Amino acid sequence: MAKRPEWLDNAVFYEIYPQSFRDTDGDGIGNIAGITEKLPYIRDLGCTALWLNPCFDSPFGDAGYDVSDYCKVAPRYGTNEDLEELFREAHKLDMHVILDLVPGHTSWDHPWFKESMKAERNEFTDRYVWTDSVWEEPTGYGSLRGISPRNGSCAVNFFSHQPALNYGFYKPSRPWQQAMDSEGPMATRKAMMDVMRFWLSRGCDGFRVDMAGSLVKNDEDCKGTISLWQDVRKFLDAEFPEAAMVSEWGEPDKSLQGGFHMDFLLHFGPSHYNDLMRCDHPFFAGDGDASAFVAKYLENYEKSQRKGLICIPSGNHDMDRLARNIKGDRRKLVFAFLLSMPGAPYIYYGDEIGMNYVEGLTSVEGGYERTGSRSPMQWDDSRNAGFSTADAAKLYIPQDPSPDRPTAAAEAADPDSLLNEVKKLIRIRQDHRALQSLGEIQFLCDGAPGKPLAYIRSEADEKILVVVNPTEAAYELPAEYTPEETIYSFGKGLDGHRVQGVSAVFLKIR
């Protein structure tokens, strides 16, 4: 298990989609200076770290997940100096900033790919996964064909404009498939470590790694990809032991073995994460079932030896806003859960004020139905909700048009708002070690239909019993637990030994 930077033990992350957070130069798209300007808001919320979606040079066919220069901030967001300034200002507030590393593919505009398409051999010929004839496609992957003088088809990793970088094949079975340790794949690996070194030496605190499990091809159990990340871990331990690493993998047992500190439970893969907030009958709407999620969570928790951090996000730029399915005060129950679970919680910008999924938007920069979760942050009631002074027609994505859209300013002024509840919950988490990343968890009730989630979080002598009950039925605490003190209560809360319906309580127990 990887050695962890100490700050992760009590970290609460805030994910920022830079396009839509705050625009300080009035061009209708967010920028880095806007993030720096809003650091006090994020700090005041209680978050201690930021994850920024890709902010590097790109033709933006996939919102920046199609990088054309890993070491240059996209001009629309500012300069490298602006990003370094953000690192410095965040550090002054005792916050950390992680960037998005996209190691699986580049844009087809990347100079490496342009070189790789040439018929003559050069330094970048083996940088991508090519077959040796345009008539042969890389089975199992989409491909780019007939676009280059080079006689081959190139595998793609996601959209068609994202050619797959070559980290080799776990078990090569065709002449063009290279072994993981051959020269081309090793050069790609080194190039990616150089990118990491570039930003880490300029003040960045780590990376969220895009599609981290996708690197080595024909690697069914991910054994090759795990060993590749173990190699990266050695590099980080030697040069940047303080760097924090979180993977978009969705299989913590694998990624944590690879040396990541944290892995996300996500809307894809076998996590049952969607059962909680994003399905026809989500658990938090009161008539769902969280038991398959709990079973899977515990399986991962045991497999990762209870040591790595399994991170449950409120949402992200790829999935529906939680507010789409969970209404009103039930959103507070979601946060009572997210902020009392082990691992580091991740809050997607705007979820803390209950921002809506904006229905019916046309796709922007490869967003498709994800675009509705990427609309600009709603700060206040000024022009464009305080996001930008540009003409509304120039905004990167239109603002939520609902007349009752929430804003951060209005919620800050309302003691009963979701924003103030989230703030309170973060403060309580930060005051109690048992509730933080590493406290143990033991489930008492698994959220089967009609039942709440109930669990004990513990660390050294501290024990906290958490009940999050979105159902209408009351829950009787097991007789052996006598609450000593209520440290958090929402809804009707505790009545004697019963937690009422649509309530959440955190109770100190012995």
Please give the residue ranges that form the binding site for ligand GLC (CB under 6 A). 62, 65, 102, 158, 210-211, 248, 317-318
Residue 215: partners with Cβ closer than 8 Å, 6 or more residues away? 103, 104, 165, 167, 224, 225, 228
Q: Please return the burial class of 210, using the count of CB atoms within 10 Å of its CB with bins 0-12, 13-18 and 19+.
A: buried
Looking at beta carbons only, is 13 or 65 nearer to ligand GLC? 65
Q: Quote the least distance from Cβ 400 to ligand GLC, whole Å.
A: 20
Cα 489 to Cα 170: distance, rounded to the nearest angstrom = 52
Q: What is the DSSP secondary structure assignment for residue 113, as one 8-state letter? A: H
Q: Quote the least distance from Cβ 318 to ligand GLC, whole Å.
A: 5
Cα 299 to Cα 147: distance, rounded to the nearest angstrom = 46
What is the DSSP secondary-structure string of 353-368? Answer: GTPPP-TTPPP-TT-G
Q: Quote the least distance from Cβ 158 to ligand GLC, whole Å.
A: 4
Cα 283 to Cα 348: distance, rounded to the nearest angstrom = 20
Distances (CA, A) of 179 to 10, 129, 156, 219, 225: 40, 11, 18, 11, 12
Looking at beta carbons only, is 170 or 348 nearer to ligand GLC? 348
Q: Quote the least distance from Cβ 104 to ligand GLC, whole Å.
A: 7
Q: Quote the least distance from Cβ 129 to ligand GLC, whole Å.
A: 16
Looking at beta carbons only, is 57 or 210 nearer to ligand GLC? 210
The structure tokens listed for 274 are: 């969607």
Looking at beta carbons only, is 158 or 297 nearer to ligand GLC? 158
Cα 255 to Cα 241: distance, rounded to the nearest angstrom = 18
The structure tokens listed for 168 are: 């080799």
Looking at beta carbons only, is 191 or 211 nearer to ligand GLC? 211
Looking at beta carbons only, is 36 or 371 nearer to ligand GLC? 371
Q: Please return the burial class of 94, using the count of CB atoms within 10 Å of its CB with bins 0-12, 13-18 and 19+.
A: exposed
Q: Quote the least distance from Cβ 246 to ligand GLC, whole Å.
A: 12
Cα 366 to Cα 165: distance, rounded to the nearest angstrom = 20
Looking at beta carbons only, is 375 or 417 nearer to ligand GLC? 375
Could you list the beta-strand ranges (E) of 135-182: 143-144, 154-155
Q: Quote the least distance from Cβ 366 to ligand GLC, whole Å.
A: 7
Looking at beta carbons only, is 38 or 208 nearer to ligand GLC? 208
Q: Quote the least distance from Cβ 317 to ligand GLC, whole Å.
A: 6
Q: Whose CB is nearest to ligand GLC? A: 65
Q: Quote the least distance from Cβ 162 to ligand GLC, whole Å.
A: 6
Q: Quote the least distance from Cβ 64 to ligand GLC, whole Å.
A: 9
Looking at beta carbons only, is 255 or 458 nearer to ligand GLC? 255
The three-state DSSP-derived secondary structure of 3-65 is: CCCHHHHHCCEEEECHHHCCCCCCCCCCCHHHHHHCHHHHHHHCCCEEEECCCEECCCCCCCC
Q: Quote the least distance from Cβ 154 to ligand GLC, whole Å.
A: 16
Looking at beta carbons only, is 351 or 411 nearer to ligand GLC? 351
Looking at beta carbons only, is 352 or 365 nearer to ligand GLC? 365
Looking at beta carbons only, is 45 or 319 nearer to ligand GLC? 319
**218 φ/ψ sector (left φ>0, alpha ψ -120 to 50, else beta):** left
Matching residue, tokens 């990347």: 110
Q: Quote the least distance from Cβ 13 to ligand GLC, whole Å.
A: 15
463 by DSSP, 3-state: which? strand
Q: Please return the burial class of 485, using the count of CB atoms within 10 Å of its CB with bins 0-12, 13-18 and 19+.
A: exposed
- For residue 507, the surrounding DSSP H or E stretch is strand 503-508
